[in-house]
Structure 1
Amino acid sequence: MRIFIFLFILFLASQVLGQNKTLYDFSAETITGETFDFSTLKGKKVLIVNTASECMLTPQFKKLQELYEEYGGDDFEIIGFPCNDFGKQDPAGNDVIYDFCTKKYGVTFPMMAKIEIEGENVAPIYKWLTSSEENGVLDANVTWNFQKFLINKNGEVIDFVSPFKGPKSNRIIEWLNEEE
């Protein structure tokens, strides 16, 4: 009987420890300094994108904002993470980045504080986004600014889209129109 109880406890422990994190396990600092708890996004599809203000892909901010205006609300959210890791194309501080995004591109979707995506100081949310050991689904190298990650309504990573495909790519629009 003791062996059965021991095996049962071991089984339960492995189930709990083997569970993967979801988006809802994270929080981040917004670009204006508040704490953003991702659990507030439960039930929404979420597009996470690493951004840069001085990149050839920076005009994607306009398409991201258009996508947000068309689909954003109760069912969809975009989260931007400024990053200076690729080509050193976002060297400014958070307030300068915020002014740039809001004034030049009219960005109204949530922007987080600048983070690191590569190296020793990778932000925890990007460790999760890019590692199947963390997210249970996929491994993804962030190759450049404006790589997009698709998160389902359960807070699970389901796919990513190349930086060189725009925010209104077929994959993203199809995903937004899929029922979950």
Structure 2
Amino acid sequence: MLNQLFSIPLLNIHGETKSMGDFMAKAILVVNTASECGFTPQYQELEQLWQRYSAQGLMVLGFPCNQFGQQEKGSNQEIEAFCQLNYGVSFPMFAKVEVNGSDAHPLFRYLKSQAPGLLGHQAIKWNFTKFLISDEGRRVERFAPVTKPLTLEDKIVRILTVSPTD
């Protein structure tokens, strides 16, 4: 299963091919994002987490998605400029993806299978759904769009401070 997660191909916001294996870390926070959403200000808290904990092993990965209310209409270049200008985003951002349906990106198919939503539903309901991956990919937790990123700080700190023998 670990090979499955870390072999998933990705395309960053600049069009460069990557894989999840390029972003292996003690904790990985994956978020489907949008620039015109009521939750868009969460970019600021995501950036704060990235700034505070990237040196200790946190990766924050943003995946723009236009599937919810067409709230991410821009091109990858426009999305990147918006995120940097308005929120100072410096964490890795990726090319726009779909998170639901037959064209859902393999990463989101994997994450939804590992951490279904309420009542076992695998669909992502809205922008800024968060997935926290830990234990070298063995644990995936899902958090609703209304969950503010900074409320995950304690969980992230616990993951980052656990030694491999704990």
Which ranges of structure 2 fall in alignment gaps of 5 or more residues?
118-122
In structure 2, relative to structure 1, the CA distance for the partners of 1:153 and 1:40 (3 Å cut) is: farther
Which ranges of structure 1 fall in alignment gaps of 5 or more residues?
1-18
Aligned to 1:163: 145
Using the size of structure 2 for normalisation, the TM-score is 0.86
CA contact under 8 A between 2:31 and 2:62: conserved in structure 1? Answer: yes
Give the fraction of aligned pairs with identical amino acids, expressed as a percent: 35
* Distance (whole Å) between structure 2 residues aligned to residue 162 and residue 25 of structure 1: 26
Mapping 1:56-71, distance limit 5 Å: 56-71=38-53
- Structure 1 residue 78 and structure 2 residue 55: aligned? no
Mapping 1:1-180, distance limit 5 Å: 19=1, 22-131=4-113, 135=114, 138-140=115-117, 141-169=123-151, 172-178=152-158, 179=162
Q: Deviations over 1:81-108 (max 9, x none)?
A: 0000111100111110011011111100
CA contact under 8 A between 1:23 and 1:156: conserved in structure 2? Answer: no
Q: Deviations over 1:147-173 (max 9, x none)?
A: 11010141234211111011001xx22
CA contact under 8 A between 1:50 and 1:146: conserved in structure 2? Answer: yes
In the alignment of these two chains, the number of paired residues is 155
* Distance (whole Å) between structure 1 residues aligned to residue 56 and residue 135 of structure 2: 11
* Distance (whole Å) between structure 1 residues aligned to residue 53 and residue 4 of structure 2: 22
The farther-off stretch of 98-107 and 67-76 is 67-76
Q: Deviations over 1:40-78 (max 9, x none)?
A: 233421000000000011000011111111111351100
Equivalent position SS for 1:78: strand
Where do 4+ consecutive residues of structure 1 move more than 3 Å? 19-22
